[in-house]
Copies of this chain bind each other. A is one copy, B any other.
Amino acid sequence: MQDDPRVPAEIADKIGYQLRNAQLAVFAGFNEQFAALDLRPAQFSLLAVLDAYPGIVQARAGELLGFQKANFTPFVDALERRKLVVRVRLDGRTNGLLLTPAGRALLRRARRLADAHERTVTAGLSPRDRRLLGELLERITAAARRDAAAAARSA
């Protein structure tokens, strides 16, 4: 009887599997909507960071968003080529990042899409459930980071 095979419980019940499923589903809709702006979620995040911290040191912005250093430079390059972001020299070796007016305008449009998408995806949750979900995810994230750090130390 394999007429209706299902992902076995030993996989489907794992938190990693559940997180990945949810994340893929949420990002699929997000990417669909953001395609019109030619913007990926991580690019939206950087625009928002630069709006909150004009002139932030480039390396810091990358860390904040969890980028590896080697990946962040080309990531910023692409946004600079599109004239959404500009590098400013803070001192001899340090670059700061600023939004351009075009970057700020795109951020405003992106914000509206992101907020609408958020409402759609979380519409089935009460404010209390939404808060609880955030807290539970935070606890999982913290536990997983502690575990990964411990594993790295003992490796």
- How many Å lie between the Cα of A14 and that of B139 in the bound state? 16
Which of A77-85, A98-106, A110-118 forms part of the interface with chain B? Answer: A110-118
Residues in A lying within 8 Å of B, measured CB to CB = 2, 5-8, 10-11, 13-30, 32-33, 41, 44-45, 48-49, 51-53, 55-56, 60-61, 64-66, 111, 114, 117-118, 120-125, 129-130, 132-134, 136-145, 147-148, 151-152, 155
* Across the A-B interface, the 5 shortest Cβ-Cβ residue pairs: A25-B144, A29-B148, A19-B23, A8-B52, A28-B148
A27 CB contacts on chain B under 8 angstroms: 16, 20
- How many Å lie between the Cα of A56 and that of B17 in the bound state? 21
A61 CB contacts on chain B under 8 angstroms: 5
A155 CB contacts on chain B under 8 angstroms: 32
From A144, which residue of chain B is reached at the shortest CB distance? B25
Check A53–B7 contact: CB distance below 8 A: no
- How many Å lie between the Cα of A155 and that of B35 in the bound state? 11
Check A132–B136 contact: CB distance below 8 A: yes
A20 CB contacts on chain B under 8 angstroms: 23, 27, 41
Check A5–B143 contact: CB distance below 8 A: no
Known contacts A7-B45, A10-B111, A53-B2; A140/B122 CB under 8 A: yes
From A21, which residue of chain B is reached at the shortest CB distance? B141
Q: Besides A7-B45, A18-B137, A25-B140, 10 other CB < 8 A contacts?
A: A5-B61, A10-B114, A11-B45, A11-B49, A17-B41, A120-B143, A121-B143, A121-B144, A121-B147, A125-B139
